[in-house]
Amino acid sequence: MPVPMLAIPPFPDNVPTHPLRVIDYQLIKAQNEKEMESLWEAAKSLGLWYLKNNGADDEVDAMFDLDAEIIAVPSVEKMEFT
């Protein structure tokens, strides 16, 4: 039986937020001056950033594929390993 999804309330307007700078790892590897400056500014001003194009997405996708395979195994079979 599927689990019902909970409604997520909207993010409150009265909570301060700050934009998170997105850094492209492939541009950093290619020594793109503009991207390296963007990374430096993020490091100085925010202390953190989101790193995209770093190859982790492929690993995460593989992890979820493996999880789906494990879930598909019948419970009786999985109980042999408990």
**Which tens digits make up the pLDDT trace of 17-70?**
888 999 999 999 999 999 999 999 999 998 999 999 998 888 888 898 998 898
Residues 3-42: b if buried by 16+ CB within 10 A, e if exposed: eeeeeeeeeeeeeeeeeebebbeebbeeeeeebeebbeeb
Query: What pLDDT score was predicted for residue 2?
Result: 63
**pTM (2 d.p.):** 0.56
Helix extents (H) in 4-79: 25-29, 33-45, 56-72, 75-79
DSSP-assigned states of every residue in 40-51: HHHHHHTS--EE
